[in-house]
Amino acid sequence: MTASRSTSLFNEDPLEFTVDETQSGQRLDKYVTDSLEEGTASRTLVQEWIRSGSIMVDGRPVKANHKVSVEETVTVVIPEPEQAVIDPQDIPLEIAYEDSDVIVINKPRGMVVHPAPGHYSGTLVNALIFHCTDLSGINGVLRPGIVHRIDKDTSGLIMAAKNDLAHASLAAQLKEHTVTRKYIALVHGKVPHEHGTIDAPIGRDPQDRKLFTVIERGSKRAVTHFAVLERLGEDFTLLELQLETGRTHQIRVHLKYIGYPLAGDPMYGRNKTIGLKGQALHAAVLGFKHPRSGEYLEFNAPIPADMEHELMILRQR
């Protein structure tokens, strides 16, 4: 599958997907739902888009039950949401840094970063809109200020831009791989090497379009560096991971690929083996050049209490 994607989720620029052999014969509504970024739209919403003509196959309108064929091009123009205004919500935020250009939040595990169709409340964006008088508008009405993301069940540091100048600067630093992003992860198995680099391309899993995997076709280069912090017996290892690139689910996919899956990961890990609600992954360090002054800023967030509790249990085994 290949796709072109604009910076804003809701945009007149179409997304284009090319059907490959593994997807041939699927219903169009399922194919589109699985091909879109996770959480973008439900299958019911996709069916509405098909009926309204927002989704075409080889330039022509078809029905939701159309069976896609190899090499067909599926074009998706995601319409503006009916609810274009996101309500501010007084949700407590742990703020690591804030000025007139940028805000850095220590996000708790379980909080979604931005609203998606059918899920407009309780997100970091709802909280930011309440807290901040302004946020950058580059990423559209549902993602104001959001420059990068971390998964719902990953805790830790995330930055947001308060104006378009700051957003452009931070986005450029991410693209140039100059932002420092270090994570703490608990993985299954005893990692034998003290440090290493995983350089393996990531793309959609042809067997399950909601997942990502290491694959050559339709992929992008992905690089993760790791170092062992602590070995917890024969069954677990605590790692520090540094992202060079920032692909969707990169750490989770790379750890599975090398045979040391992330503990507690419901998508890429093993059956539930620890007490956390979600994966044992924490964005511990975030560093970047201030978009206005150029000064390098770096922030640290301690491992959250729930993850620290799991580590204590493993140390006592």
| The two structure tokens encoding residue 17 | 């997907």
DSSP classification of residue 202: E
CA distance 94 to 129: 15
CA distance 73 to 234: 49
151 catalytic per annotation: yes
CA distance 154 to 150: 6
CA distance 54 to 29: 12
| The two structure tokens encoding residue 187 | 């993985």
What is the pairing mode between strands 281-289 and 155-161?
parallel
CA distance 24 to 35: 13
CA distance 286 to 283: 8
Of residues 151, 164, 205, 235, which has the active-site annotation?
151
Please give the positions annotated as active site: 151
